[in-house]
Amino acid sequence: MNTNYFSKVRILDGGMGQHLLAKGLKPKGSLWSATALIDKKYHQLVVDAHLDFIKSGAEVIITNNFSARRVRMAQNNVEEHFNYANEKAGELALKAKEISKKNILIAGSLPAQNNTYVLDQRDRKIIEKGFYDQAKLIKPFVDFFYLDVLCGSKECEIALNVTEKLNLPVLVGLHVKKNGKLPSNESVDEVVKKCKTKNWLGVILACVSPEIIKNSINEVKKLNLPFGYKANLWKAEEPVPVHKFASPSDEIGANPVEVMGTRDDYTDTKFLEFSKKMVSVGATILGGCCESKPSHINKISILKK
């Protein structure tokens, strides 16, 4: 792919997991959106969810394997479906692209390999195996990898070792807290200086509120990289790991909205106003995360250049 792809404004998709729940997915345990990959009856739902975002103007869709990391599947006693689920995430994204007949790109999700929003303290070799196992399964279907909500330079370095071995470019998504730091207590600038390689397509603030993005954007702007965001619309200012509200033993998993709430007041028009301000300071990578709906993506799609 063109490594300068994000040098002009591009539109990413929104929150696939939450959109699947809104369309009728009944998650099991703490599997969340991975349920839709394991259970064949939901496969068309995944395709339709991708198509909703494509029809709304997304130029990049992200594979739906965020919760199909090995540790989450082992916790839910479905580890034997790990390969199947991750391959299926790639297949379903590609199917949606083919149905749409649009020249979109597919980004392969490489999420934090343990809990979301917190630094992974495990041994580096265990973490690297997790990234590699997912990456090799989705690689045949994707144009680039997306480091999905990473929390520090340790995870970033390990994931980049994997993406370089597999020879695909990467968009780096970093999670930032209210204090402007990653959960590792590093600044975005520190992480980029430690980890940046020639394969980077850009860096975005990942699953972060619009307010935190606004407060952090000037630091990101100084990195001399294409930059932007995938904004969440949780009511909670700082989202919590899934294990805080969902148990692998639950027959029916909880919807994260029950704990973190949704910002019904954050309309598509408000999201457009926010996005215009971010574009005015140089952001070129615009998208949504949890609770960002196709309507939000459709509204900001007018900013494409």
pLDDT at site 33 = 97
- Number of domains within the chain: 1
- The tokens describing 156, both together, are 């970033």
Judged against a pLDDT cut of 80, whether residue 305 lies above it is answered with no
Judged against a pLDDT cut of 90, whether residue 1 lies above it is answered with no
Q: What is the rounded average pLDDT of the residues 33-39?
A: 98
54-88 b/e with 16+ CB inside 10 Å = b? bebbbbbbbbbbbbbbbbbbebbebeebbeebbbb
Q: What is each CA distance from 288 to 127, 205, 275, in whole angstroms?
A: 26, 10, 11
pLDDT at site 243 = 79
DSSP letter at 39 equals S
pLDDT at site 254 = 87
The residue segments making up the domain with residue 122 are 5-303
Looking up residue 297, the CATH number of its domain turns out to be 3.20.20.330
Residue pair 29/76 in contact by the 8 Å Cβ criterion:
yes
Average pLDDT, the chain: 96
Judged against a pLDDT cut of 90, whether residue 48 lies above it is answered with yes
What Rg value do the Cα atoms of the chain yield, rounded?
A: 17
Q: What is the rounded average pLDDT of the residues 283-299?
A: 98
pLDDT, tens digit, 9 for 90 and up, residues 213-245: 999 999 999 999 999 999 999 999 999 988 788
13-36 b/e with 16+ CB inside 10 Å = b? bbbbbbbbbbeebebbbbbbbbbb
**Distance from C-alpha of 110 to C-alpha of 234, rounded to nearest angstrom:** 22
DSSP run (H or E) holding 299: helix 294-300
pLDDT at site 242 = 82
Residue 256: which pLDDT band, with cuts at 50, 70 and 90?
very high
pTM score of the predicted model: 0.97
pLDDT at site 244 = 80
**Distance from C-alpha of 164 to C-alpha of 157, rounded to nearest angstrom:** 11
**Distance from C-alpha of 216 to C-alpha of 143, rounded to nearest angstrom:** 28
pLDDT more than 70, % of the chain: 100
pLDDT at site 251 = 87
Judged against a pLDDT cut of 90, whether residue 161 lies above it is answered with yes
Beta strands in the chain (DSSP E): 10-11, 60-62, 105-111, 144-150, 170-174, 200-208, 227-231, 285-288
Angle at 233 between CA 230 and CA 239, to 5 degrees: 90
Strand order in the sheet with 10-11: 10-11, 285-288, 227-231, 200-208, 170-174, 144-150, 105-111, 60-62
